[in-house]
């Protein structure tokens, strides 16, 4: 299940109530015909509120079904995300299908990972590589001229939907798309994800991706592996230019929300390994000289809900948090898998992903806190705060005698 909205909304009326009730009806449908009937009504209502930029209506409905009809929550979020990132447009006598897609890139470096405007020559080259590596013949893509960090992506469904339609409109009218300005600054991490965003424009009801043309027996996984391998080969030089001084890994470009979630999941282990390597090299210590404190964090509006785990690193025998890594959660079982069996207070179950990764990296002093903390950030730089051994939320600070690269540029 996708996580609940962060904002707690009390009142539900009008379209929000109708959207919530339709989502519940779909979750209770007893046949595909009934399901399709309710789904058509829900899609129309969601599309209307996206067009009117009534994000609060969608948030209210999502909050209501999450709290009162959780079996309908996935139905509603899938509908909102799907409609926000796809559409149809008519130009003259031709109809086109639209899809907002993202190409995630996992990057790691001791230096700041770049983002920002993409030079026009590289943008043109990436467009050709994407089209020829991944898309069916006759399908076009308009790549936005920015390399985005996660903090710079559009923040709600209405903004996503508007971005898709504006990009498609500019492309079909042969107008230049100007790079986004005044994007938020991103908190630098040793490992992070970067995103190319694009809008696919295809003749109505035609296949979009090359793997959709896979013949029987329809080994789609193999076809996707071949497609992403070709994409890596074609785009590697251009991405290396955009991410100087970085190691990086390509993920399969897909529909916007699916691609972003996959990137967030796959960057998690890279973040831990990069942090341990950076700290040992920068501070000239062994991994066994480091400790880790793992704590659960969630919105105060939803007591008991855990949205992410934050791992604070310490030096052996020292209380200060010197560096931190975030492990976002997307499904209820993520917390179990990330920690230790069904309970973080018992040691008789298998170890979860986080302690396994830390031990494989050489750490032996690993502590897990029982409390759930609020999602707090630094007032000055917006960096996340981490829990120390006493349960106090603190800003990570490298030792005073650490090299400048460690204390100035990274949180």
For the chain, 411 residues long, give each residue's pLDDT as a single digit of tens. Answer: 345 455 554 567 899 999 999 999 999 999 999 999 999 999 999 999 999 999 999 999 999 999 899 999 999 999 999 999 999 999 989 999 999 999 999 999 988 899 999 999 999 999 999 999 999 999 999 999 999 999 899 989 999 999 999 999 999 999 999 998 888 888 778 899 999 999 999 999 999 999 999 999 999 999 999 999 999 999 999 999 999 999 999 999 999 999 999 999 999 999 999 999 999 999 999 999 999 999 999 998 888 889 999 999 999 889 999 999 999 888 766 787 888 643 444 444 556 889 999 999 999 999 999 999 999 998 888 789 999 999 999 999 999 877 764 333 444
Contacts of 222 (CB under 8 A, 6+ apart): none
Write down the pLDDT at residue 410.
43
Read off the tokens for 73.
């929550």
CA distances from 182 to 117, 160, 326 (A): 11, 17, 25
What is the structure's pLDDT at 348? 43
**367: closest CA among 279, 295, 278?**
295
At 21 the pLDDT is: 96
Residue spans per domain, the chain = 15-84, 87-257, 285-408
Interstrand relation of 365-374 and 323-328 (parallel, antiparallel or unpaired): unpaired
Task: Give the count of beta carbons closer than 10 Å to the beta carbon of residue 15.
Answer: 18
What pLDDT is attached to residue 317?
Answer: 86
The number of beta carbons lying within 10 Å of the beta carbon of residue 286 is 11
DSSP codes joined into one string, 94-147: EEEEEEEEEEEEEEE-SSPPP-EEPPHHHHHHHHHHHHHHHB-TT-EEEEEEEE
Helix, strand, coil % over all residues of the chain, rounded to 5: 45, 25, 35
Res 10: pLDDT: 54
Tokens 């179950």 — which residue?
Answer: 349
pLDDT at position 347:
41
Q: What sign has the CA pseudo-torsion 332, 338, 343, 345? A: negative
Q: What separation in angstroms does the CA of 196 have from each of 87, 104, 136, 153, 309?
A: 20, 7, 19, 10, 27
CA angle 359, 360, 361 (to 5 degrees): 85
Q: Which structure tokens are listed for 308?
A: 């992410």
CA-to-CA distance for 192 and 246, rounded, in angstroms? 11
Q: What is the spatial distance between Cα 382 and Cα 116, in angstroms, rounded to a whole number?
A: 19
Contacts of 287 by beta carbon, 8 Å cutoff, 6+ apart = 276, 280, 361, 362, 363
d(C-alpha 394, C-alpha 357), whole Å: 24
């Amino acid at each position: 299940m996708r996580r609940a909205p962060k904002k707690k909304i009390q009142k539900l009326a009008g379209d929000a109530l109708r959207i919530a009730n339709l989502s519940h009806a779909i979750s209770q449908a007893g046949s595909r015909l009934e399901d399709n009937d309710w789904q058509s009504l829900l899609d129309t209502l969601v599309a209307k509120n996206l067009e009117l930029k009534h994000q609060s209506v969608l948030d209210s409905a999502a909050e209501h079904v999450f709290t009162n009809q959780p079996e309908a929550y996935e139905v509603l979020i899938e509908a909102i995300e799907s409609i926000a990132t796809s559409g149809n447009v008519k130009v003259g006598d031709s109809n086109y299908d639209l899809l907002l897609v993202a190409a995630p890139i996992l990057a790691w470096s001791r230096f700041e990972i770049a983002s920002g405007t993409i030079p026009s020559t590289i943008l043109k080259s990436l467009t050709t590589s994407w089209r020829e590596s991944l898309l069916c013949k006759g399908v076009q893509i308009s790549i936005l001229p920015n390399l985005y960090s996660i903090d710079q992506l559009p923040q709600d469904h209405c903004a996503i939907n508007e971005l898709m339609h504006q990009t498609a409109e500019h492309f079909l009218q042969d107008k230049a798309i100007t790079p986004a300005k005044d994007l938020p600054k991103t908190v630098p991490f040793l490992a992070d994800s970067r995103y190319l965003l694009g809008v696919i424009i295809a003749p109505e009801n035609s296949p979009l991706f090359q793997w959709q043309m896979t013949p029987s027996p329809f080994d789609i996984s193999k076809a996707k592996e071949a497609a992403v391998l070709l994409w890596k080969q074609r785009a590697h030089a251009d991405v290396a230019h955009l991410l100087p001084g970085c190691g990086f890994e390509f993920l399969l470009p897909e529909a916007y929300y699916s691609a972003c979630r996959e990137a967030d999941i796959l960057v998690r282990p890279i973040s831990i390994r990069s942090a341990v390597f950076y700290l040992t090299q920068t501070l000239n210590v062994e991994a066994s000289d480091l400790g880790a404190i793992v704590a659960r964090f969630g919105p105060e509006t939803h007591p008991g809900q855990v949205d992410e785990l934050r791992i604070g690193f310490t030096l052996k025998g020292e209380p200060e948090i010197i560096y931190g890594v975030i492990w976002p959660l997307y499904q209820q079982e993520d917390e179990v898998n990330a920690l230790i069996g069904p309970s973080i207070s018992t040691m008789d179950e298998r170890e979860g992903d986080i302690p396994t990764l830390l031990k494989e990296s050489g750490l032996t002093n690993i502590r897990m806190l029982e409390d759930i903390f609020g999602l707090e950030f630094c007032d000055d730089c917006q960096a996340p705060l981490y829990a120390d051994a006493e349960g106090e939320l603190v800003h990570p600070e490298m030792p005073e005698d650490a090299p400048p690269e460690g204390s100035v540029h990274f949180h």
